[in-house]
Amino acid sequence: MAIEKVREHLRTWDRDKDIIELDASTATVAQAAAALGVEGARIAKSISLKIPEDPGLPRENAVLSGRAMIIVTAGDVKLDNRKFKEFFGFKARMLSPEEALEYTGHEVGGVCPFGLGKDVPVYLDISLRRFVTVYPACGSANSAIELTLDELNEYARSKAWIDVSKPIESAG
């Protein structure tokens, strides 16, 4: 079970007992915010993306070819395709639910930046920097943990802080 893999990962920092398991779903930003009693923006949303098998990738990204990556953003933003392509040199493509499980070991709704294989790079979006603490998932659709940004950066073994998001436009 993915949550057990995350628990083992967080044990390195003695934070495995701090995982919050709820009766309610935390699979979406809105559900997680309601279940945890926090604003949706503080939900650290893990976006799982496919890195294309493309020999034309910029040299610094060529090693990532054909793999997956995770970008963690604040819950109230979405990827900005222009910024993403400028930074990484390829178009963002979300993993299918089957690919998410295959590449990350986590099912959609519980995808998180913990307990991943070493070949899944994690990047943190600057949209998170507005908060002292945030709530990423922990490998299941009813779990989370409250972390400072420094803790999230360390525990996720983040490659870098990047700017690839924009606000979600509200309807009406």
Look at residue 79 in the predicted model and tell me its pLDDT: 96
User: Does residue 167 lie in a domain region?
Assistant: no
Residue 25 lies in a domain: yes
* Per-residue pLDDT, 168: 87
Question: Which two tokens mark 65?
Answer: 């070819």
Number of domains in the chain: 1
Three-state DSSP class for residue 162: strand
Domain assignment of residue 27, yes or no = yes
What pLDDT is stored for residue 172 in this prediction?
41
**91: nearest Cα among 54, 145, 43, 144:** 54
- Residue ranges, the chain, pLDDT below 50: 55, 171-172
Separation CA 35–CA 18 (nearest Å): 16
Nearest to 115 by CA among 106, 124, 125, 128: 106
Say if pTM beats, i.e. exceeds, 0.85: yes
Long-range interactions of 84-87: CB distance < 8 A, separation 24+: 84/164, 87/162, 87/163, 87/164
Domain that includes residue 142, residue range: 2-162
pLDDT at 44: 98
Q: Which residues pair with 78 in a beta bridge?
A: 166
Q: Is residue 171 part of a domain?
A: no
Cβ atoms within 10 A of the Cβ of 46, count?
23
Reported as type and span, the H/E element at residue 155 is helix 149-155
Which letter does DSSP use for residue 146 in this model?
Answer: -
Q: Rg for the chain (alpha carbons), in Å?
A: 15
- State residue 171's pLDDT score: 44
CATH number at residue 88: 3.90.960.10
| CA 107 to each of CA 3, 79, 82, 101: distance values in angstroms, whole numbers, following the listed order | 10, 20, 28, 5
Residue 20 lies in a domain: yes
- Asked, for residue 96, whether it belongs to a domain, the answer is yes
Q: Are 13 and 155 in contact (CB under 8 A)?
A: yes
Please report whether residue 93 resides in a domain. Answer: yes
Is residue 169, in this structure, part of any structural domain at all? no
Structure token digits, residue 158: 């983040």
Q: Tell me how far CA of residue 170 lies from CA of 27, 41, 73, 121, 167, in angstroms.
A: 21, 14, 17, 31, 9
What's the pLDDT score for residue 170?
Answer: 54
Q: pLDDT per residue over 129-165, tens digit each? A: 999 999 999 999 999 999 999 999 999 999 999 999 9
- pLDDT score of 131: 98
